[in-house]
Structure formats: structure tokens, C-alpha cells
Copies of this chain bind each other. A is one copy, B any other.
Amino acid sequence: MMNSFVIHGDIVFCPYKKQMVAIEDGWVVVRDGIVELPYIELPDSAKDLPVHDFKGKLVMPGMVDLHIHAPQYAFRGLGADMELLDWLKNYAFKEEAKYGDIAYADKAYRIFADALYHSATTRAVVFGTIHRKSTQLLMDRMEESGIVSYVGKVNMDRNGAEDLIEETGESFRRTERFIAHTAGKYRNTYPIITPRFVPSCTDELLSRLGWLSEQHELPVQSHLSENPGEVAWVGELCPDSRFYGEVYDKYGLFGNSANTVMAHCVWSTDEEIALMKERGVFIAHCPASNMNVASGIAPIRRYLDEGLRVGLGSDIAGGHSTSIFTAMVDAMQVSRLYWRHIDQSRKPLSFPEALYMATKGGGAFFGKAGSFERGFEFDAIVIDDSVLPHPQDLTVAQRAERAVWLGGDKTGLIAKYVRGTKII
């Protein structure tokens, strides 16, 4: 059993939204890549297993990124000077059009996959572009990285740019071909149905994509209620729908038959929130992006309290950092501003809540991932936080909190496991 071992270190994970577990000098027994249990003392039954010894280091679940645009990685940190719809036209669409050129895509996606590999992220839900071959190339790179990912060829048959648009039938056929080429091909990389968002997709296209999701049992990713201008536009484009999410729902793209993740949900109405809850739709909370393109602050406290499924997304390149540690910090920060400036009945998010979203919350999109509970796939990061010196004594829980707040992309990251395989 290659993937059976015991990992030793200061164990931190978050099985419940409000409760973090921290075990100083603890052990996690992993058998065939699956967590048996975390232990305070090494049990006799595991004494024959090899030990991966990280004494004094932090061992935490790998980070889950529920929303990231691979082709936009190239221009992260540039152009945060417009609102969403102008930003798409002037930055995102222009960059994405380049991915029709396979040589450019190869260069850019190598940089992207290398960055994710070196980050604390172990699972990601990824947008490609409308280009089938480039997106398959992206999947090859993601597979090589060892990270588990869903990757989507994007669909757009209206309101794109001259060089970034598809005819409806062509968009559908390309997606069929994309699924045929990629489903079952990889160990850790899977296709996902990816309508860009309602303004980019006709009813006809959405309907066909819903059919593909159902037929192939494929999950779905898209965007929802990110920006007031976008929401108003969807209202004009789809006058028969009562709210934005209902458009996806009408075509079976809203958790009807498969896991669905919707990015943002900053401006969701009560009805939309109720339907997301009913359908078990995952919300990818992307706080940096929501600041950078001036979308606003999503009501995450409400979503958590009402039992919706919430994870975090970097949303490169609306967001500028791939770090889910940074997304946790951003989520905590904007929740404080939400409380202060918008609604004092919505309490700021705590550190355990942020960690929960970043691990088990988002991990649920992949099944049993993001925790060290029995039966979970063992994804982990090991952090040597001695690179962040301090004069006073700290508990393990404090060290984990501090590593996240101060850590950024990869500070002190010395090991990384995905499904029980050590990839760093």
C-alpha cells in the first residue's frame, strides 16, 4: 500500500463550521489514501505503518478553490479599475481570445499549473476558455500537477467578442467532443459543464448544456448575481424569469441532477437564496474579486446560518491571488465591513468558519474531501511556521490562525498530499 502511512505533527482541521480541532503532537492514520482517524497517541494497530514525521510542523487539510479562471492568471494584478461588465470586455475577453493559439495556451497554462502546484491548494474547480484543445491541454497540465480538479471548456454563444464567441450548435458539439476526450481519461482531472453566465448563453445553449450535464452526470459551474449591472441585464435578457438563478434552474443547471457551484452570489434575492438551499447549490465566495471589480460584499453570514453550502474561490483574475489563505483573510475582513456598514445583525466570520469554508465546505463539492475525519480522502498541507518568528508561546490553534493570516501563497509550505499521495 503506497498510500498507507501515519503522518505526525501538529494536526489542525475543521469538522464543524464553528469548531476547529487542534491536536498538538498528533497522528493521522491514512490507509490507501483514506483517513482512518486522527489520534492523540499513535495506536498499536498503526505501528507497522511508515511514519511521515513532521513533528512541530502544522498539518492541515489542503485548501479547496471553488472558482478560478486559468486563462486569466496571466493578467492577475492588472486592471482592477472597472466594474464587471466593462472589465470582462476590456480585459478578460481579450486575454481569453489568445487561447485559440495553442502555443500561447501552452506557455500560459504551464505557468498557471506550476503556480497552483506550489500553492496550498489541493482541489480546484477551473474555468478554461471556449477553446476545446487549449482546455484539454490545461487538463493535461492540471493532471501533471497532482491536484484534483474539475476543468470546464467555457460556453458562450452571445454577447462575447468578435474573436471570443461560438455559434450555438458549434458550442454544443465542441462540448460533446470535449467530454468524449476527457471524461474518464485522467486520474485526478474531470470535465465540468461551464456556461460562462446567462448573458453569454442563449436559452437554446443552456438547455443543451443542461441535457449534457444530465446525460453524462457531469457537475456544473457558472456565475450568479455578482454585480448589480449584470443582474439587471439578466432581467432584461430573460424577462420571464423571476430571478437570475431561475434561468439556470429552468435548464437543469442549478443542482437539479448534479453538483453545481455558482460563483459570487453577492446580490441574490430571498427567492434565489431559497432555491439555492433547496437545490444544494454550492456558493463560491470570492471576496477579493468582489472588492477588486467593485461588486460588493456577499452576505456569507446569512448563507452559513441558513445552512447553504459555501466554499471559497480565488476567482483569478477578478481576484489577484491564488492563495486560499488570502481568501480566508479577505472573507473574514469583508464580513467585518458587512457588519459595520451594512447589517449589524450579521456577525463577522470567525477563523474556524473561514477555515471550514476553505476546506470541508468547498471540499464537499468533491465528495469526502477537506477534513481529517474517518473516510475522507487524505489531502493535506504541512507548514513550517518557524519562518514566522515570534517571541511568545503560542498554542497550535493560534499557530494555525497566524499561519493563515500571515502566510500568503506558500509561506513555509514544506509538504503537500493529495488523495494520500505526497506531491511536494
- Chain A residues with a Cβ under 8 A of chain B: 74-78, 80-81, 95, 98, 104, 107-108, 111, 288, 291-297, 320-321, 329, 332-334, 336-337, 339-342, 348, 350-351, 388-392, 394, 398, 401-406, 408-409
Top 7 A-B residue pairs of the complex, sorted by shortest distance between their CB atoms:
A77-B405, A291-B333, A294-B336, A108-B391, A77-B402, A77-B406, A107-B391
Q: CA of A389 to CA of B409 in the docked complex: distance in angstroms?
A: 15
Shortest C-beta distance, A320 to chain B (Å), equals 5
Residues of B within 8 A of A288 (CB): 333
Would you call A78 and B405 a contact (CB within 8 A)?
Answer: yes
Q: CA of A75 to CA of B341 in the docked complex: distance in angstroms?
A: 27
Q: A74-B390, A333-B288, A406-B321 are in contact. Are A341 and B342 (CB under 8 A)?
A: yes
Residues of B within 8 A of A291 (CB): 333-334, 336-337
Shortest C-beta distance, A164 to chain B (Å), equals 16
Would you call B337 and A296 a contact (CB within 8 A)?
Answer: yes
Would you call A78 and B337 a contact (CB within 8 A)?
Answer: no
Q: CA of A78 to CA of B329 in the docked complex: distance in angstroms?
A: 11
Chain B residue nearest in CB terms to A349: B81
Shortest C-beta distance, A154 to chain B (Å), equals 19
Q: CA of A340 to CA of B78 in the docked complex: distance in angstroms?
A: 20
Residues of B within 8 A of A77 (CB): 388, 401-406
Identify A111's interface contact among B321, B351, B389, CB under 8 A: B389
Q: CA of A183 to CA of B288 in the docked complex: distance in angstroms?
A: 44
Q: CA of A350 to CA of B405 in the docked complex: distance in angstroms?
A: 26
Would you call A294 and B340 a contact (CB within 8 A)?
Answer: yes
Chain B residue nearest in CB terms to A404: B77
Q: CA of A242 to CA of B290 in the docked complex: distance in angstroms?
A: 38
Q: CA of A297 to CA of B339 in the docked complex: distance in angstroms?
A: 12
Q: CA of A292 to CA of B402 in the docked complex: distance in angstroms?
A: 14
